[in-house]
Amino acid sequence: MVKAITCPSCGGPVTVKYSEQSLSCVCPACLAVLSTANESVSILVKSQSKKTKPIIELGKRYNFRGHDWEVIGFLVRSDKSGSYKWSEYLLFNPYVGYRFLVCMDGHWSYVTKTKSAPKVDTALNRATYLDKTYTLFHKGQVKNVFVLGEFYWRVKANEIVTAVDYINPPEMLSLEKDADEEIWSIGEYVHKRDVEKAFKLAGLMPLDIGVAPHQPSPHNQDKKLASYVTWLVALVFLVHFGFLVAVPKRNIFEATYRVPLSTSPTITTAPFEISDKAGYIETELFAEVNNGWLETTVEAVEENTGEEYEFDQGVEYYSGYDSDGSWSEGSRTSDRRIAKLPPGKYHLNITTAWSYPSPTTFSFRVSEGNLSWGNFFFAFFLLILYPLYYFMRAKNFEKNRWSTSDYSPYWSQNDG
């Protein structure tokens, strides 16, 4: 029911559109806050020093979330110091009731009073409501800086209440309390495009700053992606393991020789067969060198065609004592991978060179069917490269979310 009253502060006319529900209103002329709880209108706040113009026009109707809402009230609120401010719009539908549309740092929330009080665990800094768990984000005091319109409670400028916020993105569970009552509400994060479209705010929307406490992460597919990558890595491992089983390593030549002491000593080995088995050829050289080295030049000769494949392989080993104790470097064994040779019958021509004192013998071994783990790890690296980047971005998003909270799980002494 629309009710016309006279402002006792300035004598100007004031229209109360929902007089049966509204307990207070603001004179549009002098900005005095008036109580309309009974027939005699009284002044709650004589005047307001700060005037703020809402970007959503009061008295207009808008369709939002499937209902037609009239914007009947506007508040500017702040922390106790007054340095951090935000705005709240009171929406009313006679069939649905009251809702709030809250704008903090350009981020919007659709807020409804809860039907019951959540269960709070102060030891764990958590609250539970409708089987959802919310984590403590903020505790502090809130005051009204500026009010406009009409309200279903006795609103006062500069009135201070205690506020506690818990989050479970995209929701925020909030408590406001004073000496007389406790009020719980739940706010859902709303994308700014939805607000802009519903309330016709093209060109008027404030810039969104930072990450809102209950803003949903754009990286919500982390778990799905992690599971996907895990299965891919497992598949790559199984494929590689299958090759290891299907193509076992096999020694095709192995012999030990005395180191020849003649000029340009060359040893010709017995022939051996190289098959068409998958995998690479590996050669292994072993010599009992001590503070010296042994170098070999190896020619693999295909006996039917005379094709030659040449490579070098050597070992060196040094040891001793100094002021720090014993030391050693090098190795008496070396492995070398060579390209897969065409199948056929081969022998090796091994030419040796050494340092004095020379080793007496050396051993040479050739194996085929060797598979490289490097391919597996390279594939593994490629698979996890983007997910790692993705997870780092997700964690950075969460750290930004909690950067303004005194209860951040990312806080450390180094951050202080």
Cβ-proximal residues to 285 (8 Å cutoff; 6+ apart), any chain: 294, 296, 313, 314, 315, 333, 334, 336, 362, 363, 364
CA distance 5 to 325: 100
DSSP, collapsed to helix, strand or coil, labels residue 133 as strand
Would you tell me how many other CB atoms lie within 10 Å of the CB of residue 313?
18
Residue with tokens 């979310």: 401
Predicted TM-score (pTM) of the model is 0.69
Asked which of 110-114, 377-381, 409-413 is least confident by mean pLDDT, the reply is 409-413
Which secondary-structure segment (H or E) carries 87?
strand 85-93
Of the candidates 184, 172, 165, the one whose C-alpha atom is nearest the C-alpha of residue 107 is: 172
**Token pair of 360 as six digits:** 């007496």
388: CB partners within 8 A, 6+ apart: none
**Digit-coded pLDDT (tens) for 366-392:** 998 777 677 777 877 877 777 777 788
CA dihedral of 129, 130, 131, 137, whole degrees rounded to 10: -30
Considering only residues 292 and 358, tell me which one the structure prediction assigns the higher pLDDT: 292
**By CB neighbour count within 10 A (0-12 exposed, 13-18 middle, 19+ buried), where does 111 fall?**
buried
H, E, C per residue of 96-120? CEEEEEEEECCEEEEEEECCCCCEE
Residue 50 is encoded by which pair of tokens? Answer: 């700060």
* Residue 245 burial by Cβ neighbours in a 10 Å radius (0-12, 13-18, 19+): exposed
Q: What is the pLDDT of residues 179-232, one digit of tens each?
A: 889 999 999 999 999 999 999 999 999 999 999 999 999 876 666 776 777 788
pLDDT 10s digits, 119-140: 999 999 999 999 999 999 999 9
